[in-house]
Amino acid sequence: MRAPCVAFAAIAIGLPAVALADLPMMERDRPVECAKDTEGRTWRIQCDHVTKQCLYAASDELGVDGDRGKPLERAKDCSFDPFDRAALAAAGYKFVPGRADAPHGYTRDDRGRVFQINFDLRKRIYFGAAYTPKKILENPLESTRTSLDFGLLVLNIKNDRTMHRLRFVEGGVHLEPFSSELVLAQYDLSHRFLDPLLRITTFVGEPQRHDLTLNIGMWTEVGGLELHRTSRGNAQLWKHATAMVTLDLWQSADLGSFLRFRTGLGLEGQRDEVTGYHSALVAQSALELDVTLDDDGFHNLRFELDHELPRYFVEMGATGKLAQRMKAKLQYEAIVLAINDQPLSLKLAMGGEKRDDIPGLPDQWAFVMDAGLRFSLWAPPRSHL
Amino acid sequence: MGTAALASLAALALVLAAVPARAESCTKLKAGTRYPVCFDPGNRLSITAGSDGFGGALSLRQVIHFEDDPDLQWKLEHQIGEVVSAGGAIGVTGVLYRGRFLRHTRDGHLVLPFGTPKKIFLPFDIGGLIEAGRLHRRGTGTFDLGIVKTAALIDLWRSRDFKKRLAVGPIARWEVSVTSQPAIVLGHHVVAPFSAGVANLHAESKNGLTVADVTVEAGTAWTTDGGWRPDARAEASLERIVLAVNDRPIAVMVGARYATATEEAIASIGARVVLFQGADPRVSAR
């Protein structure tokens, strides 16, 4: 409270004290003027000539006692044009204490200190740990377990109407019982087509045009690995390479969020202690939803439904030549705080899996729930539309 | 572990004591030609020869500045393809990639985004450690493969450059034993899901001639064959450039490491020859 009161005295406007929590903030996109007071201190001023209101704020960060400290961080340049406060006041302008401008994705507290309040979790390095109770339908007393997950680089790059998505070394490890999955590299792209694939004109009644736009993209993955420890030993599933065609059923305006269907083929090899090593060609399809629920990127929802049909080149024991894997996963991630502008998020996830490709894993639905924390590095503010 | 760690700390103390208190000139003049006496140990391609074998590594450093916030910078350190091989059946150690990223700012802070966002100040920098693809050959056809290691770090030293660091934080690690004969088979796994901590002390002299580093990891890890168990490892190194040939430095190195998993303490001594290096920005041949 003291800091703005000092400000009032300094530029001698003489307005009453106001509550600090909701001080209005200067707009980044509008010009800011700088002026010195009689004591030589610099103030930032932004006037709205429609409402005849001028916001003013110190050009330095303020200490707890209101003393000026270092210059404001991330404030835009201001001009030192002659500033005639008396003339503006005579013209009916009101001077109101405010907060200095901040870049997109940042704000300031009442002392002028800047901090990030908008995060893009699709540009980050992350790692986290979670508590994962697991329940198998016929064995409800299955032991609880812990897990960790990581992504050494998650990067979305938007280029006009194309979104490139890159993931490197992303995966997770579950303990007790042990299982893990890892992907070395994944790349996919979504594109927004302007020209429709089909134009259908109807002539019943008033002629009308109906466009059928297919936003087709691609999805690739190399170096996937799944490890499972079962009652019949260890099993390794090497997903050498997968390529799919994607069809975006819905895209957000910034292409960051989507609902899509993808289908394609993969080549994999499986080694277990029962049947040895077997290669397979895998037909796979998935329905995928990835959506950021709010403008500031705090709430993120992801759903994935996968169906995979490995066809082995050589019969694999009792499984034969054809196996089946079905997976579903729902994940919600919310940022709970940020340390030095690096977000710490809460992850809640649930999933189910049914498969008959790995000897020793029960051929029935198994369900998993996750609750944990993730720490992200980088996570810059989300792009403007 | 105690002896190794104490020896490392003593060595580090000696190094710190040797660090000059004021900036030195980074070039000297002889016969009308200037030659460098400062080096950048963070940007170089080097080979090593020592009691633990022959090896090499590529190290890169990078600083990202922000025009609108001069008090903020990201300090990125990359080590690519680090390998040491003693030849024969044992003693090959390699790391495909290791990165340490520290976000340095004059004012650290914590943001609570509930309602009106609140900012609470913290006296440290933050960052992370990432390591992928560590391989250690234990014997003929048997390896320990570190798939991923990652840590959240806080740097209490808060140096603006790369020369000083005191970073601590929780660490997660996933390793697996591998048998390659007759085919590649993965054995038991070791996983530390942030159940261990890491402390790293790093110091370099201002002229880059002396570099010391001590890292201690300790906590518990879960193994597929034995459940939870204590796990600790420590590593210390000291490097001193003693001469330069055609302005390419040659350094003497001493090091020690210990791990509870193998109960082995290994000391080493050797030399590092820099093949290519980034010029220290303070060095001008003109």
In this prediction the ipTM stands at 0.78
What pLDDT does B15 receive? Answer: 44
Question: Which chain A positions have a beta carbon within 8 Å of B106's beta carbon?
Answer: 70
Residues 308-367 of A with CB under 8 A from B: 335-342
Question: Which chain B positions have a beta carbon within 8 Å of A178's beta carbon?
Answer: 189, 191, 224
A47-55 own/partner pairs: CB under 8 Å, 24+ apart = A47/A88, A47/A93, A52/A91, A52/A92, A52/A93, A52/A94, A53/A93, A53/A94, A53/A95, A53/A96, A54/A88, A54/A93, A54/A94, A54/A95, A54/A96, A55/A24, A55/A25, A55/A26, A55/A96, A55/A97, A55/A98, A55/A99
Give the CATH number, domain containing residue A271.
2.40.160
Q: Is residue A384 part of a domain?
A: no
A348 in the same domain as A230: yes
Percent of chain B with pLDDT over 70: 87
Q: Which domain holds residue A16?
A: 2-116
A320 in the same domain as A340: yes
A47 in the same domain as A127: no
What pLDDT does A137 receive? Answer: 53
Residue B145: Cβ within 10 Å count: 16
What pLDDT does A385 receive? Answer: 60
A154 in the same domain as A85: no
Question: Which chain A positions have a beta carbon within 8 Å of B67's beta carbon?
Answer: none
Mean pLDDT computed over B229-253: 94
pTM score of the predicted model: 0.84
Tell me, rounded to whole angstroms, the distance of Cα B228 from its chain centroid. Answer: 27
What are A288-306's pLDDT values in tens digits? 999 999 999 999 999 999 9
Count of the separate structural domains present in chain B? 1
* Cα(A361)–Cα(A279) distance, integer angstroms: 19
A300 in the same domain as A178: yes
Q: Is B110 on the interface with A (CB under 8 A)?
A: yes
Q: Which domain holds residue B267?
A: 2-15+46-106+118-277
Q: Is A376 on the interface with B (CB under 8 A)?
A: no
Question: Which chain B positions have a beta carbon within 8 Å of A21's beta carbon?
Answer: 116
Count of the separate structural domains present in chain A? 2
Closest residue on chain B to A236 (Cα): B186
Q: With a cut of 80, say whether residue A366 has pLDDT above it.
A: yes
Q: Is residue A383 part of a domain?
A: no
| φ/ψ (deg, to 5) at A214 | -110, 110
Q: Is residue B61 part of a domain?
A: yes
What pLDDT does B22 receive? Answer: 40
The candidate with the shortest Cα–Cα distance to A126, out of A300, A304, A352, A303, is A300
* Cα(B61)–Cα(B281) distance, integer angstroms: 13
Of A22, A337, A375, which is closest to B111 when you measure between CB atoms?
Answer: A337
A14 in the same domain as A140: no
Residues 9-48 of A with CB under 8 A from B: 21-22
A155 in the same domain as A65: no
What are B15-53's pLDDT values in tens digits? 444 444 344 478 888 888 888 899 999 999 999 999 988
Residue whose pair of structure tokens reads 């990359």 in the numeric block? B78
Q: Is residue A385 part of a domain?
A: no
Answer for the pair A72, A124: CB distance below 8 angstroms, yes or no: no
- Please answer yes or no on whether A129 and B224 come within 8 Å at the CB atom: no
A287 in the same domain as A147: yes
Q: Is residue B258 part of a domain?
A: yes
A319 in the same domain as A264: yes
CA atoms within 13 A on the CB side of A344: 15
Amino acid at B196: A
A156 in the same domain as A34: no
What pLDDT does A142 receive? Answer: 45
Q: Is residue A281 part of a domain?
A: yes
Q: Is residue B236 part of a domain?
A: yes
Which of B148, B179, B195, B229 is the best mutation test for A, with the most CBs of A within 10 A? B148
Give chain B's end-to-end CA distance (angstroms, integer): 49
Residues 205-244 of B with CB under 8 A from A: 222, 224
A152 in the same domain as A26: no
Q: pLDDT band for A258, please (50, 70, 90 cuts).
A: very high
What are A329-355's pLDDT values in tens digits? 999 999 999 998 999 999 999 999 999
Q: Is residue B24 part of a domain?
A: no
